Amino acid sequence: MREPTAARATIHDVARLAEVSTATVSRVLSGGKPVSPEVTERVRAAANDVGYRPNPAAQTLLRGSSRTVGVVVPDLGNPYFAEILKGLAAEAAAEKHHTLVAGTEEDPEQEYRSAIELARWVDGLLLCAPRMSTPRLREVAEAARRLVLINRVLRHHAVRSVVVDYHLGVRALCEHLAALGHKRIAYLQGPTAAWSDQQRQRGFRSPEASGLTIIRVPCGSTLADGREAVEEALTYKPTAIICFNDHVAVGVLSRLRELGLSVPHDLSVAGIDNAPMSAHTDPGLTTYAVSTVEVGRQAWSRFAPKPSTATTHIRGELITRASTAPPPHKSPRG
């Protein structure tokens, strides 16, 4: 009799070769009820001999678990989210879980659809900086077995959050620039739907009360957004620019160089997040450093059945590099 091939091997083939029932094969391969070591070894050897691979959907039904976490991010090209995924995936793999990732190109509707679809198949769902509306977010919370949010808070009994205290970061950047003698600062805003941008803007309230002039300029979260926002920012004649993130700041540095402006001699520039490229730009970028890998690790810990708190707060630290210096005697021309 010809041995079954890997492409068409079934659980019945394994049971026949191991001389056990199909129910026993299911228990062994799904990690269900205990089976004697002798039978377990025989079943696994038979499965290997015939090249049998359990159907993931069937395994999920048997275990009541997919051992998979779904992750939805607004921009897969942003290194901030890549670093978060690195931290989360490492923790998940250590506990024998898989990670499914969906990018949404900053589209709240696509984000919602991806989240609802993933929620059907995974044990837990992580939304990184979700852009969707609060009502839509509540729908996702009801659909998901477990939901963890990064840089977003939702009042819901089944939702946990990990948030970076960006208001403290912005405050630290403002204090740094004020100590250097800056008075007029342009802030390149993040996406309008970004909750974390709202938190950044909280940080400007105290500096404004202390006499700093803050000019808010619509921008976004990408390198291209930073390049495109430079000309408008310059019309306000700031002596320093704080960017929504380091990705934006790199775009700003590039465009300022094209315009013949020197950083920091003509204009100081600062970012947020301490992305990997920030120490290697020319000049090196002053930024508010956040351990994004730690954000991912903390997000994984929030999937525990009974986490200690609903919201975990993470603080960063100011890193000063060569992109900030005392302001010039004259503001750069617009």
Per-residue pLDDT at 2: 43
Instruction: Tell me: pLDDT of 270 over 90.
Output: yes
User: Which tens digit of pLDDT belongs to each residue from 144-191?
Assistant: 989 999 999 998 888 999 999 999 999 999 999 999 999 999 999 999
Per-residue pLDDT at 208: 66
Instruction: Tell me: pLDDT of 284 over 80.
Output: yes
Instruction: Tell me: pLDDT of 20 over 70.
Output: yes
Per-residue pLDDT at 200: 95
Per-residue pLDDT at 181: 95
191 with 220: CB under 8 angstroms? yes
Kindly indicate the confidence band of residue 61, based on its pLDDT and cuts at 50, 70 and 90.
very low
Mean pLDDT of the chain: 88
Per-residue pLDDT at 22: 77
pLDDT, average across residues 32-48: 81
Instruction: Tell me: pLDDT of 63 over 80.
Output: no
Kindly indicate the confidence band of residue 262, based on its pLDDT and cuts at 50, 70 and 90.
very high
DSSP 182-250: --EEEEE---TT-HHHHHHHHTTHHHHHTT-EEEEE---SSHHHHHHHHHHHHHT--SEEEESSHHHHH
